[in-house]
Chain A
Amino acid sequence: MTRWKVCVDKKVCISSAMCVAIAPGRFVLDKQQQSGPVEAEIDPDEEVRDAAASCPSEAISLVDADTGQPVDLD
């Protein structure tokens, strides 16, 4: 079973909270209102894929844990 690694680049996160709203329970905001994944490695999840595709600052990266290849966001 494929697993995804989820990363949020806090240097580019603009605190839109888009991901927290699209994929509840998968992302959490820190004190500076910046997002991070609740779990760094997850089973494939369409809501997380949607969150990555919708992020206005493209701060969320999804990578196949086995191959290291970026997950297709479409």
Chain B
Amino acid sequence: MTVDSSPVKFTPARPGQPGPDVRTIGGGRPVFRAELPDGRIVWLVSGYENVREMLIDQRFSRALAVAPGRAQPGFEMSAAGSISGMDPPGHTRLRKLVASAFTVRRVEALRPRVASIVDQLIDAMAGEPQPTDLVAGFSLPLPAQVICEMLGVPAADLGQFHAWSDTIIGDWQRDADEIMTAVVELYGYFGTLIEIKRAQPVDDLISALIAARDNTDRLSEHELTAMCCALLIAGHETTANHINLSLLLLLDHPGQVATLRADPKLIPGAVEELLRCTRLGGLPPARVTSEDVRLGGVTIPAGELVIPLYSTANRDRSVFTDPDRLDVTRAAASHLAFGAGVHHCLGAQLARVELQEAFRGLIGRLPGLRLAVPGSDLEYKPGMAIHSLRALPVRWDEP
């Protein structure tokens, strides 16, 4: 039996602003019904234990959430048939095909290449007049270059990708037809690239996935294309904006920047703390209950949309002492910024290495790094999926 009053109005946090206080908005209930600005009625799940329990429970289905008629415009419409929109066992079959490329061990082997891209980008920025746009000069090209090299996508095509990617994940208010056109064009691009690599395989992830399809029939042609699109989009927009948002947060805490500059060995731990504290997007992807599920003291009926609020898990005071305080020396690695369970971020280790090398470079090589405009002048692309900055003008002290 469900005991619950009418849904509370819930507006996700705008970029750069604190979100609604879930401890009070749900009337003290950790799992509660809410009405979103677009009119959808959902269950919101807050608190570390509840969010974690939900993420590892297969009765909260991603496949049901992206099914036709249920999927939201944009990212969700492109998620059907890709690993972000599937459940086990289909999800497991696909995930295993790519898991080995993103393990701690394999990604650690990429670290020197990541560090070298960081250095090249900083060299290039240092040769230009200040102020410099960090988005165009650093935070976007770093992860984009890395994922393109892993997949085997020509870096020259990056500009086109950003246009598609912005349309698909940037603005959910956009006309649905426009989003679908971008999805179709992106799929078409990869369809062509797959044929080129099928004829002439090389040592990259796309060629390996083609071999998995053609030699052992472990994925369909659609799944192959969807996987390439998902890896490319997930592989750069997230990390790029995490660099931006983390830097903004750090710049508000000059003492902590000084701590990191004095002792770069603290950077990996600082990256975990920044992952814990930064709110990368609006609302995380929804699940739909496949049956009645008991969670956080209530019963969520079958067929309901359920959204885990990661930010409340990462600021749960039963897990993190004084959770609203940024402390780069804190042991923060148990945060849920990468999710948990079968959809735990495939690129988590890659993101960690990219963020660690990015901050080693930014803090170590650009002393006095600071915003070149007031923080209130920063503009985000419209939409809900990811808090994506248009530009991040910065200055630093010339040597």
B341 touches A17 (CB 8 A): yes
Q: Is A44 interfacial (CB 8 A cutoff)? A: no
A15 touches B334 (CB 8 A): yes
| Chain A 9-22: CB-based contact to B (< 8 A → 1; otherwise 0) | 00010111110111
Q: Which of B94-102, B163-171, B250-258 contacts A (4 or more CB under 8 A)?
A: B94-102
B92 touches A16 (CB 8 A): no
Chain B residues contacting A32 (CB-CB under 8 Å) are: 334
Smallest CB–CB gap between A24 and chain B, Å? 7
In the complex, besides A16-B348, A17-B341, 11 extra interface pairs with C-beta distance below 8 angstroms are A12-B104, A14-B348, A16-B344, A21-B58, A21-B88, A21-B340, A21-B341, A24-B58, A50-B92, A54-B92, A56-B349
B55 touches A21 (CB 8 A): yes
Contact pick for B104, options A17, A54, A56, CB 8 Å = A56
Smallest CB–CB gap between A19 and chain B, Å? 9
Chain A residues contacting B341 (CB-CB under 8 Å) are: 16-18, 20-21
B340 touches A17 (CB 8 A): yes
Chain A residues contacting B342 (CB-CB under 8 Å) are: 18, 21-22, 54
Q: Among residues 4 to 52 in chain A, which have CB atoms less than 8 Å away from a CB atom of chain B?
A: 12, 14-18, 20-22, 24, 32-33, 50
Chain A residues contacting B96 (CB-CB under 8 Å) are: 50, 53-54
Docked pose: A12 CA to B96 CA in angstroms: 19
Docked pose: A50 CA to B96 CA in angstroms: 8
* Known contacts A15-B334, A54-B99; A22/B348 CB under 8 A: no
Chain A residues contacting B103 (CB-CB under 8 Å) are: 55-58
Chain A residues contacting B262 (CB-CB under 8 Å) are: none
Closest to B103 in A: A58
* Known contacts A32-B334, A54-B92; A18/B105 CB under 8 A: no
Chain A residues contacting B95 (CB-CB under 8 Å) are: 54
A33 touches B88 (CB 8 A): no
Q: Is B56 interfacial (CB 8 A cutoff)? A: yes
Q: Is B10 interfacial (CB 8 A cutoff)? A: no
Chain A residues contacting B88 (CB-CB under 8 Å) are: 21-22, 50
Smallest CB–CB gap between B45 and chain A, Å? 15
Docked pose: A21 CA to B193 CA in angstroms: 34
| Chain B 74-93: CB-based contact to A (< 8 A → 1; otherwise 0) | 00000000000000110010
Docked pose: A21 CA to B355 CA in angstroms: 27
Docked pose: A22 CA to B91 CA in angstroms: 10
A22 touches B92 (CB 8 A): yes
Q: Among residues 348 to 368 in chain B, which have CB atoms less than 8 Å away from a CB atom of chain A?
A: 348-349
A18 touches B344 (CB 8 A): yes
Q: Is B189 interfacial (CB 8 A cutoff)? A: no
Docked pose: A57 CA to B58 CA in angstroms: 22
* Known contacts A16-B338, A21-B56; A56/B92 CB under 8 A: no
B58 touches A33 (CB 8 A): no
Smallest CB–CB gap between B275 and chain A, Å? 12
Q: Is B155 interfacial (CB 8 A cutoff)? A: no
Q: Is B52 interfacial (CB 8 A cutoff)? A: yes
Chain A residues contacting B349 (CB-CB under 8 Å) are: 14, 56-57
Docked pose: A54 CA to B92 CA in angstroms: 8
Docked pose: A18 CA to B344 CA in angstroms: 7
